[in-house]
Amino acid sequence: MVAIPDTDQLLAGPLGHFLEEQRGVRAKAKAKARARLWKAIIFVGPLMLAFLVLVPFELVPKLWACGAVGTLVLGWTRMPLGKARKRVKIGINEGIADALGLVYSHDGDEGREFILAKRFGLVPYHTRAHLEDFWSGELEGHEFLLHEARLRKRRGSGKNRRWVTVFRGAIIRIASGRSFHGTTLVHRAGQHESWFGLGGRKDSVDFDGHRLYAVDMVHPDFEDRFDVWSDDQVEARYLVDPLYVERLLALENAFNGSGVCSLFVEGDIIVAVRGANMFESGTMDPAADRRMVENCAQQLAAMGRLAKQVKQQLGFNDRAS
For residue 318, what pLDDT is reported? 39
Give a yes or no: residue 320 inside a domain. Answer: no
* Structural domain includes residue 1: no
User: What pLDDT sits at residue 85?
Assistant: 82
Residue 118 lies in a domain: yes
pLDDT value of position 281: 58
Residue 146 structural domain: 7-313
Three-class HEC string of the chain: CCCCCCHHHHHHCHHHHHHHHHHHHHHHHHHHHHHHHHHHHHHHHHHHHHHHHHCCCCHHHHHHHHHHHHHHHHHHHHHHHHHHHHHHHHHHHHHHHHHHCCEEECCCCCCHHHHHHHHCCCCCCCCEEEEEEEEEEEECCEEEEEEEEEEEEEECCHHHCEEEEEEEEEEEEEECCCCCCCCEEEEECCCCECHHHCCCECCEEEECCEEEEEECCCCCHHHHHEEEEECCHHHHHHHCCHHHHHHHHHHHHHCCCEEEEEEEECCEEEEEEECCCCCCCCCCCHHHHHHHHHHHHHHHHHHHHHHHHHHHHCCCCCCCC
Predicted local confidence at residue 1, as pLDDT: 42
Q: Does 204 map to a domain?
A: yes
Residue-level pLDDT at 319: 37
Q: What string of pLDDT tens digits covers the 321 residues of the chain? A: 455 667 777 788 888 888 888 888 888 888 999 999 999 899 988 988 888 888 888 888 888 888 899 899 999 998 988 888 888 888 888 888 887 788 999 899 888 999 999 999 999 999 999 999 898 988 777 788 989 999 999 887 777 788 899 999 889 898 887 889 999 999 887 676 655 555 567 788 888 889 999 888 766 666 677 888 999 999 988 888 888 888 888 878 877 778 889 999 988 999 998 877 666 655 667 777 787 777 777 777 777 777 776 666 665 443 333
Does 319 fall in a domain? no
Residue 212 belongs to a domain = yes
Domain membership of residue 2 (yes or no) is no
Query: Is residue 64 assigned to a domain?
Result: yes
Total number of domains constituting the chain:
1
The answer to whether the predicted template modeling score (pTM) of the entire model surpasses 0.85 is no
